[in-house]
Every structure is written in C-alpha cells, then in structure tokens.
Amino acid sequence: MALSRTNCLRTTGLIRSVELLSRISSPQNLLEANKLVQIPCLSLTIVKKKPISERRYKTPLKFLPKHPFMEPHIEHNPEEITKLLKEYKENEPVSTMPNPYAKPYKRCILCQHDVKLDYKNVQLLSQFVSPFTGQLLNRSITGLCIPMQKKVSRLVKTSRKLGLMPFMFKDRRYVEDPKLFDPLRPKNFSKLYNNLLEKMYS
C-alpha cells in the first residue's frame, strides 16, 4: 500500500513520522501505521529578544538607587553654608581689576593726533598715494584704521575729480617730503611723522 508522509512531530532526538492511509477504517489501522523512525536533523534554537528595559538595565528603573543629594530628608547646617559662600566669594576674580593680558589700544597716526582731513590739503593726501603708480596705498602699508582709510580714499577721489591731484602719478612737488611710513618697510613707520605734522600745522 502506498503511504504518504503528512506530519512530523519533534521529540527528544526523534521525529515521529505519521503515515496515514488514504482510507482509515478503524483506530487499530491508525496504530499499526504509526512508526518510530530516527531521522538525522539539525536542531534549531529560537532566541527570544529581551525587552529594552531589561537589556539596558539589569534592574528596573523604579528600583534603582537614588542620588543622595536628591533625597529630601538630608539636613544642612546653615553655618557651614555661610562659611562656604564666604570662601567662594573670596576666591572670585575682582570685577573692577583690569585685564593684565589685554593688548594696548592701537590708534592710527591720524586718530592719534586728531588730524582734520580736507580734499584741498593735497600735500597730506599725497602721503597715502604711491609715487610710482598713483594708486592709494593699502592699509597694511599706511597703518590707518578702516574709517580713516575710507575717508582718505574718498577725499583723494574728490581732489582728483576737481583737478587738484593727478591720477597716474604722485605730485612731483611732494615726492621728496619726509614720509609718514616706508612703503618698502611697512611695519617700520618713519620717526619723522611728528615733525612733518608740526610743520604742516604750525
């Protein structure tokens, strides 16, 4: 008789193969058809994932010990608190004390001597013009602050539009004047700028 496998039930190391007949007439035929057959098979283990709370914490959050300073039953001595506050205030930096590491405020030549610029003062404006190209020298050479550099640039343009200063070169009358700064050595300012300002405004 042709038997067909319909079900496999797993037990300890054994798999019971239940072969059913196409037609079962009585329970005895069913018992005769049952046979124990040892079949080699791979054992599968299903690992159930733990919940997040158990994975991250060994104990639940509600049973974790609290920090001692958060407990309300702790009492503080007011004398100790005042003593600690006094020591804390003594160690604080003085607010009125000047910063010993602060750099001195650096002012440009024009701001330092409070020079009033005018587009008619061609001799002074020519100090900030290159003798070779006639272009306005950069702040890295002149050492002027940003507001004064913009003001000098605006006055030079105005003076040129009115025909007081040439465009392509420096006025030859002021080429041999003592310089406020050396274009070839921009960091080493000339020592004669005080004398020049005194001569111009004396």
Q: Is the pLDDT of residue 171 over 60?
A: yes
Helix-, strand-, coil-residue percentages of the chain, each rounded to 5: 35, 15, 50
What's the CATH code of the domain at 141?
4.10.640.10
Kindly indicate the confidence band of residue 24, based on its pLDDT and cuts at 50, 70 and 90. Answer: very low
Asked if residue 44 is part of any domain, the answer here is: no
Residue 16, helix vs strand vs coil: strand
Q: How many domains does the chain have?
A: 2
pLDDT value of residue 149: 92
Give the pLDDT confidence of 185-197 residue by residue, as tens digits: 665 554 555 556 5
Asked if residue 163 is part of any domain, the answer here is: yes
Asked if residue 64 is part of any domain, the answer here is: no
DSSP state of 5: E
Asked if residue 46 is part of any domain, the answer here is: no
Asked if residue 152 is part of any domain, the answer here is: yes
Asked if residue 115 is part of any domain, the answer here is: yes
Give the pLDDT confidence of 103-126 residue by residue, as tens digits: 888 888 888 888 889 999 998 898
Choose the weakest-confidence range: 3-7, 108-112, 131-135: 3-7
Asked if residue 102 is part of any domain, the answer here is: no
- The Cα 117–Cα 125 span in angstroms is 8
Give the pLDDT confidence of 62-95 residue by residue, as tens digits: 555 555 555 555 567 888 888 888 888 777 777 7
The whole-model pTM stands at 0.44
Position 38, amino acid: Q
| In the block, residue with structure tokens 């205030």 | 89
Residue 15, helix vs strand vs coil: strand
Quick one: how far is CA 115 from the chain centroid?
Answer: 42
* Domain range for 19: 4-37
Kindly indicate the confidence band of residue 5, based on its pLDDT and cuts at 50, 70 and 90. Answer: very low
Q: Is the pLDDT of residue 153 over 80?
A: yes
Pick from 7-11, 36-40, 174-178 the range whose average pLDDT is largest.
174-178
Secondary structure (H, E, C), 71-103: CCCCCCCHHHHHHHHHHHHHHCCCCCCCCCCCC
Asked if residue 172 is part of any domain, the answer here is: yes
Rounded to the nearest integer, the mean pLDDT of the chain is: 69
